[in-house]
Amino acid sequence: MSTTKETPPASASPGQTPRWAVRFFSIWIGEGGSLLGSSLVQFALVWWFTITTGSATTLAFGTVAGLLPPVLLSPFAGVMVDRWNRRIVLIVSDLLTAISTLVLIGLFAANLTQVWHVYAILFLRSISNTFYGAAMVSSIALMVPREHLTRVAGLNQTMNAVVNIGSPPLAALLIAVLPMTYLLAIDVVTAVLAVVPLVIFAIPQPARAARSLEENKGRLSSIWVEFREGFRYVVGWRGLLVFCLFAAVINLLAAPLSTLMPLLVTRHFGGQALELGMMNSVFGVGMLVGAVTLSIWGGFKRRVVTSLVSIAAIGIGVIALGTSPSFGFLVALGAVGFLGFLLPMAEGPIDAVLQSIVAPEKQGRVFTLVSSLSGMAIPLGLFIAAPLADVFSLPAVFIGIGVLFLCLGIVALNTRALIHLEDQSVDTHPVQTMPATVEEV
């Protein structure tokens, strides 16, 4: 099947609105609305789990249902999206999200909703979001002129920050004044509205020649070849492998924090949806301040040290959260804001290090592979921490996680393979390849 090669987006003459901007920002606004709707639903369902079951284990399974698709599918979704019509992927993803929410609305309206129903809906929505994200990210460079990509990236970060800050208190307010079915209907409306610009405007496809059915089969089989090459590349590089293990331990410790936060608010602080919304908003404000600070400061000369020091400091913040007295909700808010501030400090420099040391032709598969391998530790962390939270006090669980975070940061700062990770480059590390079999040729 052949595709039409589109010319790159061009800037308009002075005084004229560029055509690329009309197309891109129409789609971008729709994406923002859909993101807001999804955030409202996410908050509402977490709160429903909290007040309906009050179980940390139930919350953990709900989190896992939403996390498994990106962990399992991300290494392959990007490769597959490159072979499919991206506009169709985006439209189908939005419509599947709307349909899944409609099913949930019907269950709530008939008073038939069970926990496993919500698990299934979260799982299906996550599959749609995984492919939607891969298609959108890979399409931006084809819709936006190169000189505007940095500005658009900044706008995306701003939109995410605004949604993270504004959606929790908005969701808490809507929960107080609207039935669940009405709140869920907002997500259906925003998803459908996001489809409208996708129907009107074409999404550019990367130029490629027509292929026969047999050639397409060969390309599909190469997905597995590329995955194995990325895996061997990571395993064959000791520093990168140590980083993967380190990232997995971070995810194992971090996953329970956000999942157990609703129970900490209700059990320990005696709060309701509004207090949980305040927690999430303060965390979002902290992330925004941290991102701005990092962009101005730039971090330590050795970038990986900025991340590792931030990891140790996260342990201090979690300990402060766990030791906050039941009447000290404001103290807890300060600790959560501190954690939000540290998150971009921990993630940003590591991303820059990996981008500078991994071979450019390997970055796509290596980054998604590293993300998936480390992400596999998230369910394990939840399955360990959730039963403990149902047996012991939540503050004790948070304090324990904080101590482990602090120890992890200290150990990492004394691990030579991590400290000197950015001293390596594509010139000092050979690119590993997998020999092709007869079938793969």
For 266-292, what is each residue's pLDDT tens digit? Answer: 888 888 888 888 888 898 888 888 877
**Could you give the domains of the chain?**
19-208 (1.20.1250.20), 225-427 (1.20.1250.20)
Find which of 6-10, 72-76, 347-351, 397-401 is predicted with most confidence, using mean pLDDT: 397-401
The predicted pLDDT at position 226 comes to 63
Q: What is the pTM assigned to this prediction? A: 0.69
The set of residues, in sequence order, having a beta carbon less than 8 Å from that of 123 and lying 6+ positions away, is 65, 66, 68, 69
SS3 at position 387: helix
**With 50 as the cut, is the pLDDT of residue 1 above it?**
no
Distance CA 382, CA 388 (A): 10
Q: For the ranges 12-21, 46-55, 182-191, which has the lowest average pLDDT?
A: 12-21
Between 367 and 38, where is the model more confident?
Answer: 38
Q: Is the pLDDT of residue 222 over 70?
A: no
Q: pLDDT tier at 7 (50, 70, 90 boundaries)?
A: very low
| Model confidence band, residue 433 (pLDDT cutoffs 50, 70, 90) | very low
Nearest residue to 279 via CA among 125, 128, 176, 168 = 168
CA separation for the pair 136, 127 (Å, rounded): 14
Burial of 361 (0-12, 13-18, 19+ CB in 10 A): exposed
From CA 177, how far away is CA 410, in angstroms rounded? 47
Predicted confidence (pLDDT) per residue in 226-274, tens digit: 667 667 777 777 777 888 888 888 888 888 888 888 888 888 888 888 8
The span from the CA of 8 to the CA of 13, in Å, is 16
Please return the burial class of 253, using the count of CB atoms within 10 Å of its CB with bins 0-12, 13-18 and 19+: buried
pLDDT in tens, 25-48: 888 888 888 888 888 888 888 888
Copy the structure tokens of residue 138: 């890979």
Least confident range from 37-41, 144-148, 212-216, 366-370: namely 212-216
Weakest mean pLDDT among 84-93, 187-196, 394-403: 84-93
C-beta of residue 238 within 8 angstroms of C-beta of residue 365: no
Token readout for 11 is 């800037």
- The fraction of the chain above a pLDDT of 90, given in percent, is 11
- pLDDT, residue 261, reads 87
Higher pLDDT, 60 or 306: 306
Q: Which residue type, as a one-letter code, is found at position 62?
A: G
Closest by CA position to 164, among listed 286, 326, 295: 286
Picking from 71, 105, 374, 55, the residue whose alpha carbon sits closest to that of residue 245 is: 374
> How far apart, in whole angstroms, are the C-alpha atoms of residue 271 and residue 264?
9
Q: pLDDT of 152-204, one tens digit each?
A: 665 766 777 777 777 777 887 888 788 888 988 988 898 888 888 888 888 77
Higher pLDDT pick, 325 / 229: 325
Confidence category of residue 13, pLDDT binned at 50, 70, 90: very low
User: How confident is the model at residue 376, as a pLDDT?
Assistant: 77
pLDDT-derived band at 402 (thresholds 50, 70, 90) equals very high
CA pair distance 250, 344, nearest whole angstrom? 14
Q: Which amino acid is at 90?
A: L
Give the pLDDT of residue 138. 67
- Please say whether the beta carbons of 265 and 275 come within 8 A: yes
In the predicted structure, residue 18 carries a pLDDT above the cut 80: no
Q: Which of 153-162, 302-311, 425-434 is predicted with the least confidence, judged by mean pLDDT?
A: 425-434
Query: In whole numbers, what is the pLDDT of the chain averaged over residues?
Result: 77
> What pLDDT is attached to residue 4?
41
Count helices and strands in the chain by DSSP H and E runs: 15, 0
